[in-house]
């Protein structure tokens, strides 16, 4: 299992970079930079590329609606260039609240757009003249929709690699199935090893059946809160505000992917309650309603022996890359947690 670190999009980026530099020396495999309605991840990944030498760098994730497919390909090629071939393109849909509420772009056809974007990116990296006639993207733009002056172009530069790995953050069955079919990696959120099979097993099996063997095995990249020690159980509560935000506040009733995931894990009534409280402005009550069982199931928080057991459970569920999110304000302690995780890796 590869071990990496997921930076915090709301935290101090320079502190995060220093942490990555230390952990690169310790032997982590990958560092992932998120993008939400925060600073963009591209500038931070470029900065991180200049400060590191061996660790793989990834976006976690670029929303597919906020850049054209060709710009996504150009950006990935540029980051792969400045990092000497160490970049992995992580993409995802985000959600209507961010895409429509912050960017003012319609959130539509997530599965179809994802497939077309992946196909276009790979054409760009192969330096083909870009001819693409999809349902959602047409390149060059047809004359009846533009000036008629657009011509098929190829990227001017020669990308370091013509096949930059792509990981897709997907939760819904159709998008997970697509990911297993076309992507090098999958980035699910709030992954519970023992319950993941009943949520995603059928979709992964269906997508894998159509997978091109040249892609290799699907890299299942899972983020998890991390704290190792005999007296760290209080850290479990630190993750509840995020869970309450996503389950309760990231979307409306009937259109919240994280609420749906919690429901499929068996917490439907609780998820409804969290959403009701959060959307009515009672955020502290929503946080208090997040069940300890859910938090513990998706986290690596506890004694060294307990974390070793949980790490084995993640591996048994098919996880191939573990992205740690240390639960501590102390940079030294954060590094120690990840170093211990490296020692426990399976």
Whether 321 and 221 have beta carbons less than 8 Å apart is answered as yes
Burial 175-200, CB ≥16 within 10 A → b, else e: bbbbbbbbbbbbbbbbbbbebbeebb
CB atoms closer than 10 angstroms to residue 93: 24
Strand partners, 237: none
Q: Provide the sign of the torsion angle of the four alpha carbons 32, 263, 257, 167, taken in this order.
A: positive
Helix (H) or strand (E) holding 3: strand 2-6
Which residue's entry shows tokens 């992932």?
Answer: 32
Task: List, in order, residues 6 or more apart from 147 with CB less than 8 Å away.
Answer: none
Query: In this predicted structure, what is the pLDDT of residue 27?
Result: 96
Query: In this predicted structure, what is the pLDDT of residue 265?
Result: 97
Nearest-angstrom CA–CA distance, 146 and 311: 54
Query: In this predicted structure, what is the pLDDT of residue 312?
Result: 97
> Angle formed by the axes of helices 173-182 and 110-125, to 10°?
20
Query: In this predicted structure, what is the pLDDT of residue 146?
Result: 87
Written as six digits, the tokens of 61 are: 């994730």
Nearest by Cα to 93 from 59, 66, 133: 66
Query: In this predicted structure, what is the pLDDT of residue 12?
Result: 76
Query: In this predicted structure, what is the pLDDT of residue 144?
Result: 87
Query: In this predicted structure, what is the pLDDT of residue 54?
Result: 97
Which residue's entry shows tokens 């670029």?
Answer: 62
Query: In this predicted structure, what is the pLDDT of residue 253?
Result: 84
Kindly report whether the peptide bond that precedes residue 100 is cis, defined as omega within 30 degrees of 0: no
Query: In this predicted structure, what is the pLDDT of residue 251?
Result: 80
Whether 48 and 57 have beta carbons less than 8 Å apart is answered as yes
Nearest-angstrom CA–CA distance, 219 and 185: 4
**pTM for the complete prediction?**
0.95
Query: In this predicted structure, what is the pLDDT of residue 11?
Result: 72
- Give me the domains of the chain, ranges plus CATH numbers: 2-219+327-336 (3.20.20.30)
pLDDT per residue as tens, the chain (346 positions): 999 999 987 777 888 899 999 999 999 999 999 998 989 999 999 999 999 999 999 999 999 999 999 999 999 999 999 999 999 999 999 988 899 999 999 999 999 999 999 999 999 999 999 999 999 999 999 988 989 899 999 999 999 999 999 999 999 999 999 999 999 999 999 999 999 999 999 999 999 999 999 999 999 999 999 999 999 999 999 999 999 999 999 887 888 999 999 999 999 999 999 999 999 999 999 999 999 999 999 999 999 999 999 999 999 999 999 999 999 999 999 999 999 999 999 7
Query: In this predicted structure, what is the pLDDT of residue 97?
Result: 86
């Amino acid at each position: 299992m590869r071990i990496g670190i997921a930076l915090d999009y709301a935290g101090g980026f320079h502190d995060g970079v220093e942490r990555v530099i230390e952990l690169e020396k310790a032997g982590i495999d990958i560092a992932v930079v998120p993008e939400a309605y925060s600073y963009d991840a591209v500038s931070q990944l470029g900065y991180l590329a200049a400060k590191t030498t061996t660790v793989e760098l990834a976006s976690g994730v670029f929303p597919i609606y906020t850049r054209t497919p060709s710009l996504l390909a150009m950006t990935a090629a540029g980051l792969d260039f400045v990092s000497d071939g160490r970049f992995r393109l992580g993409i995802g849909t985000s959600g209507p609240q961010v895409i429509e509420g912050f960017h003012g772009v319609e959130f539509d056809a997530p599965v179809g757009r994802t497939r077309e974007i992946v196909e276009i990116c790979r054409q760009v990296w192969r330096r083909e003249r870009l001819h693409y006639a999809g349902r959602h993207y047409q390149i060059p733009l047809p004359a009846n929709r533009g000036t008629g002056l657009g011509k098929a172009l190829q990227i001017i530069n020669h990308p370091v690699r013509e096949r930059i790995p792509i990981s897709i953050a997907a939760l819904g069955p159709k998008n997970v199935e697509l990911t297993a079919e076309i992507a090098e990696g999958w980035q699910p959120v709030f992954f519970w090893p023992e319950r993941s099979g009943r949520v995603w097993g059928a979709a992964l099996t269906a997508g894998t059946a159509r997978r091109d063997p040249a892609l290799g095995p699907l890299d299942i990249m899972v983020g998890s809160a991390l704290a190792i020690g005999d007296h760290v159980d209080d850290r479990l509560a630190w993750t509840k505000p995020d869970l309450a935000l996503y389950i309760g506040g990231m979307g409306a009733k009937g259109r919240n992917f994280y609420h749906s995931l919690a429901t499929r894990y068996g917490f439907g009534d609780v998820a409804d309650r969290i959403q009701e409280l959060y959307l009515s402005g009672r955020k502290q009550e929503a946080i208090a309603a997040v069940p300890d069982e859910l938090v513990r199931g998706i986290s690596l928080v506890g004694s060294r022996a307990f974390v070793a057991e949980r790490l084995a459970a993640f591996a048994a569920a098919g996880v191939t890359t573990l992205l740690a999110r240390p639960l501590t304000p102390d940079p030294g302690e954060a590094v120690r947690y990840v170093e211990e995780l490296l020692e426990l890796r399976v």
